[in-house]
C-alpha cells in the first residue's frame, strides 16, 4: 500500500526546523557539560566567544576576507565551468577530449592542490582562489553539460515548427530546463567553496578566517575556533536561504509555467 504525504505548511515546517535545531544544541550542551572547555566548549562559551571577537574586531574582517576569496573563486569557476560544460554538450569531441581532465580534477584531493599551489605561488592568497576554482569546476562543468544534453529535443523541434526564434527557444525551453540543476550545483559548490577557502587559509595564508582558526588552535582557544565555525556556518546558511534558494524556486516555477502549449498560443 502506497502512503501519500502532503507537503507541510510553512509554519509547521518552520516549527519542525526550530525543534531540530534546539535538539542539536541540547545534545551539544549535554556532551560538552562532561568535557573541559578547552576540549569541547558548550553553546554558552561559544556564544561568549562570538560576542568577544565581534567586539574586539577579530571576526568580521577575517570573515569578509574569506568570503571575498570565495566569491572570486566561485565567479571564475562558474564562468569557466558553465562555458566548458556548454561546449562539451554541443561538441562531442571536446567532451571526449577533456573528460580525463575532469576526472583528474575530481580525483585529486584539495590538500594536494594546496601543496602544488604553494610550490607555484608560495604562501599567497592566490592559492586559496586556485584551490576553489579547481575543486568546483568539475561539478559545474558536468552539471551544465548533462543539463544541456538533457533538454527535450521534441520541445525544441516543436518550437521550430511553430516558427519560434532562437532567442525564444533559449528563454522558454533551454534556460528553464538547464537553470534548476545548474543552480543546485552552484549551491553545493558555494558551500563547498567556503569550506575549502577556510582549509586553504589555515594552511597557506596569515589572513582570513582559516588563519584566525589556526592561531586560536595554537593558543588552545577552542571556544574561538567553535565561534568562528558557527559564524561561518550561519553565513553559509544565510546565503543559501536568502539568495540561492529563492533563485532556485523561481527558476523551478519558470520551468513549470513555461509549458509548450501555453507558450505557443
Question: What pTM did the predictor assign?
Answer: 0.80
C-beta neighbour count of 113 within 10 angstroms: 20
Q: Would you state the pLDDT for residue 76?
A: 96
Model confidence band, residue 3 (pLDDT cutoffs 50, 70, 90): very low
CATH number of the 42-263 domain: 1.10.3720.10
Q: Give the chain's mean pLDDT.
A: 83
Q: Would you state the pLDDT for residue 7?
A: 54
Cα(180)–Cα(251) distance, rounded to whole angstroms?
6
Q: Would you state the pLDDT for residue 261?
A: 40
Q: Each residue of 93-117: pLDDT tens digit?
A: 999 999 999 999 999 999 999 999 8
79's CB contacts (< 8 A; 6+ apart) are none
Q: Would you state the pLDDT for residue 168?
A: 75
Residue 110, CA atoms < 13 Å, CB-side half-sphere: 23
Model confidence band, residue 252 (pLDDT cutoffs 50, 70, 90): low
Print burial letters for 201-224: b (CB count within 10 Å at least 16), e (below 16). bbbbbebbbbbbbbebeeeebbbb
Amino acid at each position: 500500500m502506497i502512503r501519500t504525504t502532503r507537503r507541510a505548511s510553512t509554519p509547521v515546517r518552520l516549527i519542525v526546523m526550530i525543534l531540530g535545531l534546539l535538539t542539536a544544541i541540547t545534545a551539544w550542551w549535554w556532551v560538552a557539560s562532561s568535557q573541559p572547555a578547552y576540549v569541547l566548549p558548550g553553546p554558552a562559551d561559544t556564544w561568549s566567544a562570538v560576542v568577544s571577537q565581534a567586539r574586539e574586531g577579530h571576526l568580521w574582517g577575517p570573515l569578509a576576507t574569506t568570503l571575498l576569496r570565495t566569491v572570486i573563486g566561485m565567479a571564475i569557476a562558474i564562468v569557466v565551468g558553465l562555458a566548458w560544460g556548454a561546449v562539451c554538450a554541443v561538441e562531442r569531441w571536446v567532451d571526449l577530449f577533456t573528460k580525463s581532465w575532469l576526472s583528474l580534477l575530481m580525483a585529486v584531493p584539495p590538500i594536494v592542490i594546496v601543496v602544488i599551489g604553494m610550490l607555484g605561488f608560495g604562501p599567497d592568497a592566490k592559492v586559496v582562489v586556485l584551490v576553489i576554482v579547481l575543486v568546483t569546476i568539475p561539478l559545474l562543468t558536468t552539471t551544465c553539460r548533462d543539463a544541456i544534453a538533457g533538454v527535450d529535443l521534441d520541445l525544441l523541434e516543436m518550437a521550430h515548427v511553430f516558427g519560434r526564434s532562437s532567442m525564444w527557444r533559449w528563454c522558454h525551453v533551454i534556460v528553464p530546463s538547464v537553470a534548476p540543476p545548474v543552480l543546485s550545483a552552484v549551491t553545493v559548490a558555494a558551500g563547498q567553496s567556503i569550506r575549502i577557502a577556510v582549509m586553504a587559509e589555515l594552511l597557506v595564508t596569515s589572513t582570513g578566517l582559516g588563519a584566525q582558526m589556526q592561531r586560536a588552535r595554537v593558543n588552545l582557544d577552542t571556544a574561538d575556533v567553535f565561534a568562528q565555525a558557527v559564524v561561518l556556518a550561519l553565513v553559509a546558511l544565510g546565503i543559501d536561504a536568502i539568495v540561492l534558494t529563492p533563485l532556485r524556486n523561481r527558476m523551478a516555477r519558470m520551468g513549470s509555467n513555461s509549458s509548450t502549449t501555453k507558450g505557443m498560443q
